[in-house]
Structure 1
Amino acid sequence: MSDKLKALAEAGVSIWLDDLSRERVETGNLAELVKDKSVVGVTTNPTIFAAAISNGERYDEQVAKLVAAGAAVDKVAFELTTEDVRNACDIFAPVAQSTAHDGRVSIEVEPDLANDTEATIASAKALWAAVDRPNVLIKIPATLEGLPAITAVTAEGISVNVTLIFGEERYREVMDAYLTGLEQAKEAGRDLSDIRSVASFFVSRVDSEVDKRLDDIGTDVALALKGKAAVANALLAYGAYEEVIASERWRALADAGAHPQRPLWASTGVKNPDYKDTMYVTQLVVPETVNTMPEKTLDAFADHGEVLGDLVTGKASEGRAVLDRLGEVGIDFLDVLQVLEHEGVDKFKKSWFELVETVEAQMAKSAR
Structure 2
Amino acid sequence: MKKNIIFFILLVSFGQIVSGQKKDGYFSIQGDLSEIKTKFKKAVLLYPLPNEYITDTATIVDQKFSFSGKVPYPTMASIKYLKEEKGPSNVPFILPIFLESGSIKINAVDGQLNHIKVSGSSSHNEFETLKIKNDLFLKDVIEPLGKRIKEVSVLKDTAKLAELRKLLLEEINRSRESIYLGYVKENPTSVIIYYCLIEGGGIPFSPARIKPYFEGLAAKEKQSIQGKSIREIFESGVRVKPGNQAPDFTLNTPTGKDTTLSSLKGKYVFIDFWASWCAPCRKEVPNVLKAFSNYKQKGFEVLAVSLDEPGSRDKWIKAIHADQSSAFIHVINRKGSINDVAKKYGVSQIPASFLVNPEGKIIAVNLRDEELHKKLDDIFK
Question: TM-score w.r.t. structure 2 length?
Answer: 0.34
Question: TM-score w.r.t. structure 1 length?
Answer: 0.35
Larger strand percent: 2
When Rg is computed on C-alpha atoms for both structures, the one with the higher figure is: 2
Q: Indicate the structure whose relative CO is greater, using CA pairs within 8 Å and at least 6 residues apart.
A: 1
